[in-house]
Amino acid sequence: MSSINMNIPLLHPKTSTPHHSQLFLTQIRTCQSMQELKQVHAFLIKTAQNHEPVVATELLRHSATSDFRDIDYALSLFDEMPEPDCFAWNTLIRALAETHDRPLHALLFFCNMVSDGMVEPNRFTFPSVLKACSVLTRLEEGKQVHGLVVKFGFSGDEFVVSNLLRMYVMCGNMEDSHVLFRRSFDGVDYMNKVMRDKRREEGIVVLCNVMVDGYVRVGNLTAARELFDRMHKRSVVSWNAMISGYAQNGYFLEAIELFHRMQMEDLLPNRVTLVSVLPAISRLGAIEMGKWVHLYAERNKIKIDDALGSALVDMYAKCGSIGKAVQVFESLPKSNVITWNAILGGLAMHGKAKDVFDFFARMERSGISPSDVTYIAILSACSHAGLVDKGRSYFNHMVNVGFVPRIEHYGCMVDLLGRAGYLEEAKELILNMPIKSDDVIWKALLGACKVHKNVEIGRRAAEVLMQLAPHDSGAYVAISNIYASSGDWDAVAEVRLMMKDLDIRKDPGCSWIEIDGVIHEFLVEDDSHPSAKEIHSMLEEISNKLNFEGYRPNTTQVLLKMDETHKESVLHYHSEKIAVAFGLISTTPKTPLQIVKNLRICEDCHSSMKLISKIYNRKITIRDRKRFHHFEHGSCSCMDYW
């Protein structure tokens, strides 16, 4: 049982001195637990010092803001204060605003302060109140607080204004944010003028950062970048907001380019920067850049916590290095389900179902409770391995332990059943599930119909998709391919005419490969690369060697009405083949090649890659839209099930 020294002479209230008050303050500040603080409180009551203003306020502050805070106890202390001052009000408002389930109480407490009228709010009151409005996204209440800011004369206070601006941003009101932002400078050329007032300059950077973040939040990256580029001075927060914005909105190359530019301007990335850029690196499969980020964190003593550690595990897994992902995972504390989910998701993507089940068992033995995301990884692993019964079992187990399946879980089940050929069961699952279906789940069914050439269910899935996402090319292309594979060219022509009338264009196949830290992008039949001539020569060499091995192009994968020669030519220039050709001419023999593709790899390319890996004695890793394919010695890790 903890205890603290209470060897302070008992005092009569009238004999209390500043010296004794200081002793009490010291006792309060040295408390290491709520139990110790309550002992001090009891002693203060016993000595009749609990109403001494300075001591009572410090007791309140410590109970509300220390690491072992107890907000309810702090509120009871506040109620004991005969005349709480502004500091006491501010302490409770701030503590409530920063407690995850109490921001609404912070607003109500502020209302009591204003209606009580005994104490006026000051410049330290409003930031906490505005933060509560931001967390709750209460725009109307935020506007009322704005009115009080003006009433009490704080509309020119930079600290208050920055929090006011953040409130409008967090509530998604960029129009009012822009007005407030402009008014904050009174016509000063805040972008280009060198500020003589250092504090003023820092305040401007803060306001600009808030606006950049606001534009990113509403998806207006153009406005965010324009403001970012016009800023005379930028902090690391400015760069983080822009890099994160690009990465979260799918502009991965732009995120990485900005990350490079940040370093060229001699601004050191921090932990948030690394966490922000790693998803972009992951999506592009830029393993060398990912390794650099990892090394940078270690050399600069940046703590690899759950967030950064999970991002590194995810990066290595998505860049094809699942062994390194496991190695990083094993070095982490593993005290958070997010970290476990990262490795489970990575293993699932690589088709390592047995490892997923083993790690899941380890997770449960370690006392970490699974989340709904955990089961997405497990069901995905079952899908990639074709383990239908095991997938059904895990789905039922998830429900039995109290999880309500989300659309992602149903999507995994539809994918699992569809891949295995249980198309009717997959369709019935979609129609009977208790939540509304989305385009993703119908795409999973449509993709399975394409694999198994089921025109009837495929047509139904395509019709639903065209209603849910009328301008998404996926449904039109998939059903067109299903018709083409069955030889119904009239139906193909009808679908393509519909696409033309609606101005819908097929997403082009695109592949990326990283060579010496530089990411190279290739499209289908791409001849725009500076090394196009050499790439073309290598493609011819590959074709000749494949033919020598007895390989013949699978022209059934070209679902267009044209002669066989033309079909073979089309297959010859798929984006992943161009990327492999470039990799072969750009690296030394036996160097592994890693490629990322935006679409599902076709059967012809899959067969070709197996032979190319054997002919050139290369390990070729391709991450398509669904999973990883590790080609080596003429075979693929997916065992031709994908």
Crossing angle for the helix pair 158-170 and 198-217, to the nearest 10 degrees: 10
Residue in 387, 311, 323 with CA at minimum distance from that of residue 350: 323
| pLDDT (0 to 100) of residue 311 | 97
| pLDDT (0 to 100) of residue 7 | 47
| pLDDT (0 to 100) of residue 492 | 85
| pLDDT tens column, 594-620 | 999 999 998 889 999 999 999 999 999
| pLDDT (0 to 100) of residue 146 | 97
**Spatial separation of the C-alpha atoms in residues 287 and 281, rounded to whole Å:** 7
What does pLDDT average to over the chain?
90
Q: Is residue 120 scored above 70 in pLDDT?
A: yes
Side by side, the strands of the sheet bearing 518-523 are: 518-523, 510-515, 593-597, 620-623, 628-632, 635-636
Counting other chains too, the contacts that 116-124 makes at CB distance below 8 Å and 24 or more residues apart are 118/83, 119/84, 119/85, 119/86, 119/89, 120/86, 120/152, 121/86, 121/89, 121/148, 121/152, 122/86, 122/90, 123/154, 123/157, 123/159, 123/160, 124/86, 124/90
Q: Is residue 582 scored above 50 in pLDDT?
A: yes
Q: Taking residues 497-510, report their average pLDDT.
A: 86
Q: Which of 117-131, 283-297, 474-488, 621-635 has the lowest mean pLDDT?
A: 474-488
User: Do residues 305 and 275 lie in contact, with contact meaning Cβ atoms separated by under 8 Å?
Assistant: no
Q: Taking residues 380-392, report their average pLDDT.
A: 96
| pLDDT tens column, 37-75 | 999 899 888 888 888 888 899 999 999 999 899 999 999
Counting other chains too, the contacts that 253-257 makes at CB distance below 8 Å and 24 or more residues apart are 253/280, 253/284, 253/519, 253/521, 255/280, 256/280, 256/281, 256/284, 256/286, 256/289, 256/519
| pLDDT tens column, 347-369 | 999 999 999 999 999 999 999 99
| pLDDT (0 to 100) of residue 560 | 54
| pLDDT tens column, 141-189 | 999 999 999 999 999 898 999 999 999 999 999 999 999 998 886 544 5
**Spatial separation of the C-alpha atoms in residues 554 and 557, rounded to whole Å:** 6
| pLDDT (0 to 100) of residue 1 | 42
* Terminal Cα-to-Cα distance of the chain (whole angstroms): 60
397 Cα distance to chain centroid: 28
**Spatial separation of the C-alpha atoms in residues 417 and 428, rounded to whole Å:** 11
The DSSP annotation for 407-459 comes to: HHHHHHHHHHHHHTT-HHHHHHHHHHSSS---HHHHHHHHHHHHHHT-HHHHH
For residue 6, what are the CA distances in angstroms to 22, 28, 33, 74, 98? 14, 11, 16, 22, 32
Q: Taking residues 553-582, report their average pLDDT.
A: 72
Q: Is residue 127 scored above 90 in pLDDT?
A: yes
The DSSP annotation for 215-239 comes to: HHHTT-HHHHHHHHHH-SS--HHHH
| pLDDT tens column, 231-256 | 988 999 999 999 999 999 999 999 99
- Per-residue pLDDT band for 507 (boundaries 50, 70, 90) equals confident
| pLDDT (0 to 100) of residue 187 | 46
| pLDDT (0 to 100) of residue 186 | 59
